[in-house]
Chain A
């Protein structure tokens, strides 16, 4: 009886995964700056989220959107800086906000399984807003970057319709406006809902 019950449960789970037509993930995002982004703020960002939606156009291919927000922050100690012919000394509070809005496609390795690794690519834009606060003033730069985002991860769906996603994404916004290229790696952990 117990075996029949377990088989029945797994059958239902398998059917639900196979039958799903879309995947929505809400995830908490930790960010690590790279390149020029890291030069500006070297601290890890523990403030971020991502919303992913994929319509399954094939059993193992999902197409949809990836939107999110990551904010990096670092308090720089009192120091002296030189900008052109001006020298200034102050504490600095640096903020770098990033809002990627991407069209994304994922390939699922094991679409019928409870645990399925996946890899994907996103393409779109990323809005960056950087503020350097000193004294009572803020120096602001912003830009809309053309952005790419490769991603790998794993979906764990122990029950029909809900699950967990663990993923790593690399957002790269090409140089735009006054800002150099903005790149950061994220570790995402979140809930997954599938229909």
Chain B
């Protein structure tokens, strides 16, 4: 009897403890991340002009295998490019055409990543076969799967005059935003994330 009480108390404790395991994020926007990285030896303050394409390339497929480059939808791209321009302008940068020999090139790119994960319902299995006399059931536990897709926007500031070992220009500043995609473009989330990336980078200030 005492053994039964012990087992009962232990089982209840486990259930209660697992039941109140700490929570996590509740809203998509809580998962937005802004990130930046720069070359600390590069003198951004000595520069003043930049050029930026009027499209945002979407990294997908394989160009080497002959896939055509694709771009994110025009309306979304223009909205994002305007946000980038706003931030660069606030830091004192002047946007010029690529033909005007800008100090830096700001290259934006985006991609999506879908993560799929699955899990077995072991409780179902356990319930069906753990206790003697209840029968094993002779079947595997049910499998469930779910997925989420994240979107990433990367902005790179490149100085065409500084080449790396592979002969390509080296990125002097990289800003990135990442978040869960919800199926519809949320301008407010995007603006907050981009603004935060530039806010992390006061060394970009030229004015």
By a beta-carbon cutoff of 8 Å, the part of chain A in contact with chain B is 24, 26, 28, 46-49, 51, 69, 71, 73, 75, 80, 85-91, 93, 95, 133-137, 161-162, 191, 193
Q: Chain A residues near B107 (CB, 8 Å)?
A: none
List 16 A-B residue pairs with CB atoms under 8 Å apart, sorted by A's residue number: A48-B17, A49-B17, A71-B21, A85-B38, A87-B35, A87-B201, A88-B36, A89-B35, A90-B32, A90-B34, A93-B24, A93-B25, A134-B33, A135-B33, A136-B150, A161-B2
Q: Report Cα–Cα, A24/B14, bound state, in Å.
A: 17
- Residues of chain B contacted by A90 (CB below 8 angstroms): 31-34
Looking at A47, A48, A69, A137, the one whose CB has the most chain B CB atoms below 10 A away is A47
Question: Of all chain A residues, which has the CB nearest B13?
Answer: A49
Assess A86 versus B37: contact at CB under 8 Å? Given A71-B22, A73-B22, A136-B150.
yes
**Shortest CB distance B108–A (Å):** 19
Contact bitstring B43-74, A, C-beta under 8 A = 1, else 0: 00000000000000000000000000000000
B123 to chain A, nearest CB (A): 19
Knowing A24-B6, A71-B22, A136-B115, the reply to whether A88 touches B148 (Cβ < 8 A) is: no
A49 to B31, CA, bound (A): 31
A192 to chain B, nearest CB (A): 11
- Establish whether residues B22 and A95, one from each chain, have CB atoms under 8 Å apart when the complex forms: yes
Count A/B pairs, Cβ under 8 Å.
80
Instruction: Tell me the bound Cα distance from A69 to B21 in angstroms.
Output: 12
**Closest residue on chain B to residue A195 by CB atoms:** B2
| Cα A3 to Cα B123 with chains together (Å) | 54
In contact, B33 and A88 (Cβ under 8 angstroms): yes
Per the bound structure, the CA–CA distance linking A162 and B178 in Å amounts to 55
Nearest opposing residue in chain A for B35, CB measure: A88
**A89 touching B200, Cβ below 8 Å:** yes
Given contacts A73-B22, A136-B115, A191-B9, contact A86 B2 (CB under 8 A): no
Interface residues of B in 1-42 (CB under 8 A from A): 2, 5-6, 9-10, 13-14, 17, 20-25, 30-38, 40
Report the minimal beta-carbon distance from B112 to chain A, rounded to whole angstroms.
12
| Chain A nearest Cβ from B115, distance in angstroms | 7
Interface presence of B196 (CB below 8 A): yes
Known A-B contacts A28-B13, A193-B6; A47 and B36 likewise in contact (beta carbons under 8 Å): no
- B32 close to A135 (CB less than 8 A): yes
A91 CA / B31 CA spacing, docked (Å): 7
- Cα A137 to Cα B115 with chains together (Å): 11
Is B180 engaged at the interface, CB distance under 8 Å to the other chain? Answer: yes
Residues of A within 8 A of B33 (CB): 88-90, 134-135, 137
B179 interface residue per 8 A CB criterion: yes
Which residues of B have CB within 8 Å of A73?
22-23
Tell which of B17, B30, B115, B178 touches A91, judged by Cβ atoms closer than 8 Å. B30
B107 to chain A minimum Cβ distance, whole angstroms, is 19
Contacting residue for A136 out of B9, B40, B180, B196, CB 8 A = B180
Known contacts A89-B196, A135-B178, A136-B150, then 9 further A-B pairs from the complex at CB < 8 Å, ordered by chain A residue: A26-B10, A46-B20, A51-B10, A87-B37, A88-B200, A89-B199, A90-B33, A93-B24, A193-B5
| Nearest-CB residue, chain B, relative to A84 | B37
Q: Which residue of B lies closest to A134 (CB)?
A: B33
- In the complex, which residues of chain B have a beta carbon less than 8 angstroms from the beta carbon of A69? 17
Which residue from B10, B24, B148 sits with its C-beta under 8 Å from A133?
Answer: B24
Interface centre among A86, A89, A137 (most CB of B within 10 A): A89
Q: Roughly how many angstroms separate A117 CA and B115 CA in the complex, as a whole number?
A: 54
Q: Name the interface residues of B188-204: CB closer than 8 Å to any CB of A.
A: 196-197, 199-201
